[in-house]
Each structure stands twice: as structure tokens, then as C-alpha cells.
Amino acid sequence: MSPVISVKNSTQSIQGKLYWDEILAESCRGAPLDAWRSYMQQIYRRLLRDWLPGATSGFGLKTDLFEEAVSPHYLLSDLGQGSVGIDCSPAIVQAACRRLQVNNPQHLLIVGELRQLPLKAGAIKRVLAGSSLDHFPNKSDIAKSLLELARVLAPGGTLVITFDNPHNPVVWLRNLLPFVWLNRLGLVPYYVGKTYTRTEARKQLKAVGLTVTDETAVAHAPRAPAIWLVMLVERLGWPSLQSLIARFLDSSERLERWPTRYRTGYYIALRAQKGRRGDPPCDTSV
Ligand SMILES: C[S@@+](CC[C@H](N)C(=O)[O-])C[C@H]1O[C@@H](n2cnc3c(N)ncnc32)[C@H](O)[C@@H]1O
């Protein structure tokens, strides 16, 4: 049985899809950032391994298809056979289709909007939302998307979600400065919007009826310098230097074990679960 309601209707209200089409074109013209994308893939793989162990039955959902479109280091297949990928950009969905059709034709990729998911209620067993909700100018849109994710989750289903971490001073400063400046300086490649503090994230997840079971901070490598370094090393084309950078990136994740992890991690990561039928109702007063 398909988890999709109607792909046609879902594309009608999309705003900003052309923006993300252009970002895809820019990314394809730019450096592959292989070591960086592999590092991010490993981070999400670890989260899935620890927080969704042995998850195979039912449909998985990935809430954007950027990695699948631009890199071989994607994650949709880690959510299981038949998993669904959604993205508001038709060009990103097409590019992801091309890559996944070659490697794994079992996925369902759809153009759709996070604030109005074209999926049936309770159709999805597990969701990976890797920084997909970090691109809205208003917090109310993040809340709307969370409500949609909670709606499509099956009872007992799990959400693994990351948000830009405003407790990291670099992210905090970035969010204070005008996006146009940061973009012109090459510090931020695409629009980033509002984000939640840890307390807000927990409150909002609870408000949509989910129970937060785990929380951490991930991606501790200093993002902009690390990406520049990866670009430089790719240009030089020295494989030994490339593997050295890859090792440095991976080793930076040791900072997750430190008490300072919410100061150094670029993202806060949360695992939240939807109660099974018959569980006591959640408090939705926040
Ligand atoms: C540039 S990526 C960043 C997320 C990526 N997973 C990461 O970790 O860097 C943002 C992705 O979210 C998609 N996107 C942005 N707003 C969206 C929305 N409202 N609904 C669906 N997809 C959206 C964009 O098309 C793009 O593929």
C-alpha cells in the first residue's frame, strides 16, 4: 500500500522551490566536497544506528533529498527498502531520482512541501529530518512542519531530527548577521532561517504529541574552515592529504562526549517517539 496521498495537490502551494533549484545548480558547479559530505553521512549513520537500531519494517521518510541529489554520500537507503524521500525542489527530486535509480530503484521520491506533507496519517514508521526544517523565516513554519511529521508517523514510530544549534556561538553569531553578507562572503551557501533552542525543540516536539527520548549535539568540526580546507585539498588532488582531512573530521566527533558538546556541535539532534494507541495522552499545553 502506498503511503502517498496525492503528489499533484502537494506541489501546488510550494514556495521557494525555484530558489532550491538554483542552489542545486550552484552546488553542481562547485567542489564535490567529498570528505565533508562523507563526514556528514557518517554522523547521520551513527544517529540512525544508535537511535533506530534494526529498523526494517514499514516505510521510512527522509525530509529532503539534497544529499541524494548532489553526492554519493546519501542516507535514504539507510532508512530501509521502499523509503520515501520528499523535497520541495523539482530539480533536486529529479537529480536524486537519477542517482537512486541507478543504485537502488526501490525508493519513492516526491516533490512536496514539509508544511503540508502529501502523506497519509500514520503511514510512516521512521523519519530522518536532517536540518531540513532550518530554512524557514518564521518559527511558526517549523512548528507546522513538526505537526505534519507527527501526523504522518505511525503509533510507536520514531523521529530523528536535527536543528541548527543556537547554543554554538558560531551559529548564534551567524543567525544574528544578515544572510546576504554571509552569502556574499561564501560563509553560508544557502538560506538558513530561524531555529529552536534545546528547550524550545523539546517543548514543540511535546506539543505535537511526541515524547523526546534522547538528545545530543553533533557535527563538531568547525564548519566553514573545514569546508574551505576540503575544497583546497580537492583542488590540490593529493589523496594522502584528503584522507588526513577525513580522519581529522571524524575525530572531531569525540567532542560529543565532552560536557561542552552543546557549545561545539553545529546541530542539536533529538530522538522523539509517537505513543502507541492506548498510551496516556500527551500534554499539548505548551
Ligand atoms: C540545502 S538543504 C539542507 C539540508 C541538508 N539535509 C543538510 O543537512 O545540509 C535544504 C533542503 O531542504 C529542501 N527544502 C527547503 N525548504 C523546504 C520545504 N519547505 N519543503 C520541502 N523541502 C524543503 C530544499 O529543497 C533542500 O533540498
- Give the mean pLDDT per block of 10 residues along the chain (286 residues): 53 63 95 96 98 87 98 95 95 95 80 97 98 97 98 97 98 94 89 96 98 98 95 90 94 98 98 82 41
Q: Which CATH superfamily is domain 14-274 in?
A: Vaccinia Virus protein VP39 (3.40.50.150)
| Interval between CA 224 and ligand 1 midpoint (Å) | 19
Host H or E run for residue 45: helix 34-51
pLDDT confidence of residue 105: 64
How much distance in Å is there from the Cα of 220 to the middle of ligand 1? 21
Answer for the pair 92, 16: CB distance below 8 angstroms, yes or no. Answer: no
**CA–CA distance, 187 with 182 (Å, rounded to integer):** 5
Residue with cell 530558489: 19
Give 35 Cα–ligand 1 centroid separation in angstroms: 21
Residue among 64, 115, 133 to mutate when testing ligand 1 (max atoms within 8 A of CB): 64
* Cα(236) to centroid(ligand 1), Å: 30
- Vertex 115, ends 192 and 107: CA angle to 5°? 95
Closest ligand 1 atom, residue 65 Cα: 27
Q: Which residues, judged by CB distance below 6 Å to any ligand atom, belong to the binding site of ligand 1?
A: 20, 64-67, 87-89, 92, 113-114, 130-132, 135, 190
Candidates 106, 92, 113; CA nearest to 13 is 113
Ligand 1 atom with the shortest distance to the CA of 15: 19
Distance 9 CA to ligand 1 centre (A): 19
pLDDT in the model for residue 280: 54
Atom of ligand 1 nearest to the CA of 17: 25
What sign has the CA pseudo-torsion 135, 24, 9, 106?
negative
Using the atom order of ligand 1, give the atom closest to the CA of residue 113: 20
Q: Residue 12's pLDDT is what?
A: 38
Atom of ligand 1 nearest to the CA of 145: 19
- Residue 22 has, within 13 A of its CA and on its CB side, a CA count of 7
Q: Where are the alpha helices (DSSP H) in 80-177?
A: 90-103, 139-152, 169-176
Distance 281 CA to ligand 1 centre (A): 32
The cell 523526546 sits on which residue?
212
Q: How crowded is residue 240: how many other Cβ atoms within 10 Å of its Cβ?
A: 7
Distance of CA 211 from the midpoint of ligand 1 (Å): 25
Give pLDDT, residue 104: 66
Q: If residue 184 lies in a helix (H) or strand (E), which one and from where to where?
A: helix 179-184
Q: What order of strands is seen across the sheet that includes strand 153-164?
A: 108-111, 84-87, 59-62, 124-130, 153-164, 267-274, 210-218
- Indicate which atom in ligand 1 lies nearest the CA of residue 162: 8
